[in-house]
């Protein structure tokens, strides 16, 4: 009986320590990548605004199905194994310099994907920045797992930006 009590108290103490340490990890995590592209803003943002083009550059969408909302193409369905809760990427908002899409599904809160063009006064290229915003819950395992987000999402983001750059610059050189 005494040994069982010690095991339970040790487990509670260990869980409390791990939980307190996890409180030091922020609840909001942003991963960001950027690339300079020698092209105009419209040709760059047309790749991002149009879900028909996403298969050309967005990593993992090559076998996705289109997502229609109110009869309009608004994104891509990545997985529909659970029809009640599909995993999808949906176009959320467009402005002159920015496009936002939500990644929804799985056991995480929706992840906000934003692509933003940044121009500089004395430059012949634009910077395309892609950032993903993760909102984490208080769960210790979710907070500690967030330490791996940079390694798991960073390289695919770099590949996606590189593919946009190649595609836009190839279109630009074929038009000239």
Q: In the predicted model, is pLDDT for residue 107 greater than 90?
A: no
User: How many domains does the chain divide into?
Assistant: 1
Among all chains, which residue has been given the structure tokens 């869980």? 15
Mean pLDDT of all residues in the chain?
87
Residue 162 lies in domain: 27-175
- CB neighbour list of residue 73: distance below 8 Å, 6 or more residues apart: 51, 52, 66, 67
Q: Which two three-digit tokens encode residue 22?
A: 């996890």
pLDDT at 103: 92
What integer is the mean pLDDT of 143-163?
A: 90
Q: Which residue has the higher pLDDT, 146 or 54?
A: 54
Q: Is residue 42 assigned to a domain? A: yes
pLDDT confidence tier of residue 173, bands split at 50, 70 and 90:
low
Q: Is residue 48 assigned to a domain? A: yes
Q: Is residue 141 assigned to a domain? A: yes
pLDDT at 111: 93
pLDDT in tens, 26-76: 889 999 999 999 888 888 898 899 998 899 899 988 888 888 888 899 999
Q: In the predicted model, is pLDDT for residue 14 greater than 80?
A: yes
Q: In the predicted model, is pLDDT for residue 125 greater than 70?
A: yes
Q: In the predicted model, is pLDDT for residue 176 greater than 60?
A: no
Q: In the predicted model, is pLDDT for residue 155 greater than 80?
A: yes
Residue 147 half-sphere exposure toward CB, CA atoms < 13 A: 7
Model pTM?
Answer: 0.83
Q: Which two three-digit tokens encode residue 46?
A: 């047309």
pLDDT at 169: 83
Q: Which two three-digit tokens encode residue 68?
A: 């229609």
CATH, residue 124: 3.30.530.20
Q: Is residue 6 assigned to a domain? A: no
What integer is the mean pLDDT of 110-131?
A: 90
Residue 65 half-sphere exposure toward CB, CA atoms < 13 A: 8
Task: Output DSSP code: residue 71.
Answer: T
Q: In the predicted model, is pLDDT for residue 120 greater than 60?
A: yes
Helix (H, G, I), strand (E, B) or coil at 135: strand
How many Å apart are CA 159 and CA 56, to the nearest integer? 11
Q: Is residue 11 assigned to a domain? A: no
Q: Is residue 40 assigned to a domain? A: yes
Q: Report how far apart the first and last C-alpha atoms of the chain are (Å, whole number).
A: 83
Residue 106's alpha-carbon distances to 33, 35, 81, 86, 144, in angstroms, are: 24, 29, 11, 8, 18
Q: Is residue 154 assigned to a domain? A: yes
Q: Is residue 79 assigned to a domain? A: yes
Helix (H, G, I), strand (E, B) or coil at 85: coil
């Amino acid at each position: 009986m005494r040994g069982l009590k010690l095991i339970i108290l040790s487990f509670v103490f260990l869980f409390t320590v791990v939980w307190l340490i996890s409180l030091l990890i922020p609840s909001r995590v942003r991963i960001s990548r950027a690339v300079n592209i020698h092209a105009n803003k419209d040709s760059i943002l047309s790749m991002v605004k149009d879900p028909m083009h996403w298969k050309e550059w967005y990593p993992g969408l090559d076998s996705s199905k289109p997502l229609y909302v109110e009869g309009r193409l608004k994104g891509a369905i990545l997985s529909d194994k659970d029809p009640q809760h599909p995993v999808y990427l949906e176009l959320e908002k467009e402005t002159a310099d920015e496009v936002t899409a939500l990644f929804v599904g799985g056991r995480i809160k929706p992840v906000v994907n934003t692509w933003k063009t940044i121009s500089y006064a004395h430059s012949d290229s634009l910077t395309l920045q892609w950032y993903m915003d993760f909102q984490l819950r208080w769960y210790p395992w979710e907070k500690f797992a967030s330490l791996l987000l940079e390694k798991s999402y960073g390289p695919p983001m770099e590949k996606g930006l590189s593919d946009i750059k190649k595609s836009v610059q190839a279109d630009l050189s074929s038009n000239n």
